[in-house]
Amino acid sequence: DVKVTQSSRYLVKRTGEKVFLECVQDMDHENMFWYRQDPGLGLRLIYFSYDVKMKEKGDIPEGYSVSREKKERFSLILESASTNQTSMYLCASSFWGGVNEQYFGPGTRLTVT
């Protein structure tokens, strides 16, 4: 079975802190994605990557950066956390090309105080 794991299920950080969220997949997927999910807004794409060291902005990249140094690992970085970044963060991965069936991690619920 495909497994996508995220470093934490729950995280509480203070305003201004640098926050790292990590995602690891074990299916050799080329594509990896970071979303945030907020009530009434659904999933919004922050960044995605289709190869090592490659990244593409999604719809809401402001305040975030990403890193993909290895194929299986995709990190989301909040350079200076703010309260409006309190949200559920979901990571996903998929094969490049063909049917874009994405496999999701369990999510990280981040609270910024």
Partner 1 sequence: SQELEQSPQSLIVQEGKNLTINCTSSKTLYGLYWYKQKYGEGLIFLMMLQKGGEEKSHEKITAKLDEKKQQSSLHITASQPSHAGIYLCGADKEFDDMRFGAGTRLTVKP
Binding site for partner 1 (CB under 8 A): 4, 31, 33, 35, 40-45, 48, 50, 56, 58-59, 88, 90, 92, 94, 96-97, 99-107, 109
Centre a 10 Å sphere on the Cβ of residue 68 and count the other Cβ atoms it contains: 20
Specify the residue, 17 or 26, whose C-beta has the smaller distance to partner 1.
26
Nearer Cβ to partner 1 (27/41): 41
CB of 44 to partner 1, least distance (A): 8
Nearest-approach distance from CB 112 to partner 1, in angstroms:
18
Buried b / exposed e over 25-51, threshold 16 CB at 10 Å, is beeebebbbbbbeeeeeeeebbbbbbe
Closest by Cα among 45, 110, 112 to 80: 112
